[in-house]
Amino acid sequence: MATATFGGGCFWCLEAVFEQIKGVSSVVSGYSAGQHPKPTYELVCSGKTGHAEVIQVEFDPNIVSYAKLLDVFFAIHDPTTLNRQGADSGTQYRSIILFHDEGQKKEAESKIAENNASGVWFKPLVTQVEPLTVFFPAEDYHQHYFANNPQQGYCQAVVAPKVAKLHKHFPEIAI
C-alpha cells in the first residue's frame, strides 16, 4: 500500500471522489501544511493556522497508480486559482500536493509541467508541491461527509458534480 496527500478546495469534495476509485482502501479528511499544533475546523477556517484542508489516500499502486491519482486530482478541481475553489476562499482551500517521497515529488512536478504545456488550462497551475510533515485527521463529522449527507445542499450542488465527473472521465477506475 502507498499513501498520497492532496488538497484542492473543500476536503468533502476530494474525499467523495477518491472514495470512488478502484484500489483506494481509505480516504481521511484532515489538515496539513500549517503552523498550529492542534488544528480544528474552526481554527483552519479562520485562515490563521496556515493549514490546508487535505485528504490522505491509502491506495494499492498495483491497482491504481499515483500518476492516475494525480490525473484525477487535476481534473476535479481548478488548479489555476490561488487560495480558492468556487465560492470557497482562503488559504485553507489552496491547491497542494504533499509528497511522501522523492518519487511522488517528481511525478507531481512532471504532471504540473504536463498540464501547463497541454493547453487544457488557460492559466498556469498554482498547485504547491511540498513535503508532508504532519497530517491531522479532521473531526469525525467530516469523515465520509458526502456518503453520510448526500441530500445536503452543498453536497448536491458542489460535491455530486465532481463525483459524476470522475465517473464520466475515468470510468476505468471508478467504482
pLDDT at 122: 92
Neighbouring-strand partners of residue 131:
99
Residue 175 in domain: no
Q: What residues are labeled active site? A: 10
Position 156 in a domain: yes
Which cell is 8 given?
Answer: 484542492
pTM: 0.96
What mean pLDDT is reported for the chain? 97
Residue 18 placed within a domain: yes
The three grid cell numbers given for residue 175, joined into one nine-digit string: 467504482
* Structural domain includes residue 52: yes
Candidates 148, 166, 158; CA nearest to 10 is: 158
Domain limits for position 97? 2-169
CATH of the domain at 15: 3.30.1060.10
Q: Is residue 174 situated within a structural domain?
A: no
Lowest-pLDDT choice from 46-50, 83-87, 154-158: 83-87
From the CA atom positions of the chain, what is the Rg in Å? 15
- Beta carbons within 8 Å of 35's beta carbon, 6+ residues apart: 49, 50, 51
In-domain check, residue 95:
yes
